[in-house]
Structure 1
Amino acid sequence: MFAGRSWEDWIRQYSQSHQNRWNQLTHSFGIPMIVLSLLLALLSPFVTGLWPLAAGLFLLGWALQFIGHAIEGKPPEFLSDWRFLLVGTRWWLAKVTGRLD
């Protein structure tokens, strides 16, 4: 699935298109919002009222992603390779745990 590349290689490439601090900031909020929205969407058939919250978080999270890329002046990596949708979450985790260079 990852074409013989390590997570570190994928994250390094992802980081290259996320150099601007404002882009990093929008991603630092947008990525967890998107992940949380997906989890809430999975729970929404069982819990009344979650669907609007999940949809709102999803839309706002993606809006932040695209705002960040507009500021950066670079397209999102996932437009060239869908696997970067997964790498973004790992990048965020590395960033918040201090494991990102």
Structure 2
Amino acid sequence: MIPPPHAPEPIIEDWLNRHRALLSLALHAVGVPATILGALMLPIYVGACSLKLFGVALMLFLGGFALQFLAHALEGSEPGELAALKAWWRRRNRGRSEVVAEADSTGDSVERL
């Protein structure tokens, strides 16, 4: 007997929800591998000291990211990198009290929590 399919993991479900349009999926299908290939070529560039190879790697990396951001712009969804940065920033600042500096009557700076 074949078991019923499981619900997708939250990360996969979130990714699928943000990439509904066929054009978005197509742009990501080209952009993600280009970005990864560009990033992987960096150590090769360092070893070979080739300016031409560096240019190719940089074009692949930036072009791949540009395609992905274009896909999100066309679809009206937030890129995953931006969402991850926002989530990190919220976690980082959660529960912190801001230190407020105010000048007292003598002009010295006083800090309070």
TM-score normalised to structure 2 length: 0.62
- Residues in 1 aligned to 2:15 and 2:31: alpha-carbon distance in whole angstroms: 15
What's 2:46 paired with?
45
Amino acid at match of 2:83: S
Q: CA RMSD in A?
A: 1.5
Q: Please list the CA deviations of residues 11-69 of structure 1 after superposition, one character each: whole Å capped at 9, or x if unmatched.
A: 11111100011011100000000000000012111122311110010111011011101
SS in 1 for 2:66: helix
Structure 2: gaps (5+ residues) = 1-7, 86-113
Corresponding position: 1:80 with 2:83: yes
Higher relative contact order (CA 8 A, sep 6+): 1
Amino acid at match of 2:25: Q
- Residues in 1 aligned to 2:55 and 2:80: alpha-carbon distance in whole angstroms: 28
What's 1:29 paired with?
30
Q: Between Structure 1 and Structure 2, whose CA radius of gyration is higher?
A: 2
- Residues in 1 aligned to 2:55 and 2:12: alpha-carbon distance in whole angstroms: 32
More strand by share: 2
The alignment-based identity, stated in percent, is: 32
SS in 1 for 2:59: helix
Corresponding position: 1:16 with 2:23: no
Deviation beyond 4 Å, 4+ runs, structure 1: none
Amino acid at match of 1:22: L
What's 1:61 paired with?
64
More helix by share: 1
Amino acid at match of 1:70: A
More displaced stretch, 19-28 vs 46-55:
46-55
More displaced stretch, 21-30 vs 9-18:
9-18
Q: How many residues align?
A: 76
More displaced stretch, 66-75 vs 7-16:
7-16
